[in-house]
Amino acid sequence: MIQQGIILRSFLPQDIRVIIFDRMHGRFSARLRKEERCGVIQGSLVHYSVREFKQYCVVDTLEAISLPAASLCIDLQFLHHVLEVLRMFLLDRIVCRGVFEHCLLLYREEMNLFLESTQFKHLFLMKLFALLGIFPEEKIFHRLRHINALIAGSFESMLLQESTVSLDDVRAWLLGCIYTHHHVSIFTTLTIY
């Protein structure tokens, strides 16, 4: 069965493994056959089939569908931050409903209008954390109660309300989410905040 997923990390050419995120398997590590190693780019949306074994998966017939929307190819730091958040916060083979669909927004060309906006990027990350079930520690969470109501709605409603939330509060909320990770020191993209 052909799957659709996002390459979160590639270890090529040193290793034949990639980390893929899709709606059926969640995040998983897979080995690539020699024929499938060409054109594997971190962040690309791909079609593939998976053969599962006891200890590992093998990806067959890997084909790149698209790269993220053009403005994201310019802002690689944001794209890498999204990939890093997914890689670090998703558990192996645990499916989080709505997360994959939310990430597919980054591959829609009509998103180019929004992707240059810092507020859009912050709101995208807020919704991503909420979908992952990641929230700041309790004292930050309660201090920023007005944000909690915002993230409870759809992403579209968040965009309509974006001007009602201060950028400093959004940054504090996002950093609070990041700092819940037990390996926060290995994040490489924190300068985005």
Peptide bond into 13 cis (omega under 30): yes
Burial 53-87 (b: 16+ CB within 10 A, else e): eeeebbbeebeeeeebbebbeebeebbbbbbbbbe
Question: Using one digit for the tens of pLDDT, what is the confidence trace for 142-187?
Answer: 777 778 888 888 888 887 775 677 888 888 999 999 999 999 888 8
Provide the greatest CA pair distance for the chain.
53
Q: Residue ranges of the domains in the chain? A: 2-66, 70-192
Q: Are 40 and 86 in contact (CB under 8 A)?
A: no
What per-residue string of b and e applies to 166-184 under the rule 16 or more CB within 10 Å gives b? Answer: eeebbebbbebbbeeeeee
pTM assigned to the model: 0.89
Structure tokens at 126: 């807020």
Three-class SS state of 4: strand
Token pair for residue 169?
């509060």
CA distance 85 to 81: 6
Q: According to the model, what pLDDT value does residue 55 have?
A: 80
Q: What is the pLDDT of residue 116?
A: 81
Do 173 and 140 form a contact (C-beta atoms < 8 A)?
Answer: yes
**pLDDT, the chain, mean:** 87
Flag whether pLDDT at 141 surpasses 90: no
Query: Is residue 175 within 8 Å of residue 187, measured between CB atoms?
Result: no
pLDDT of residue 163: 63
Please tell us whether the domain made up of 2-66 is placed in CATH 2.40.50.140. Answer: yes
Q: Is the dihedral of CA 184, 95, 131, 49 positive or negative?
A: positive
Q: What is the pLDDT of residues 88-132, one digit of tens each?
A: 999 998 998 899 999 999 998 888 778 888 888 998 999 999 999
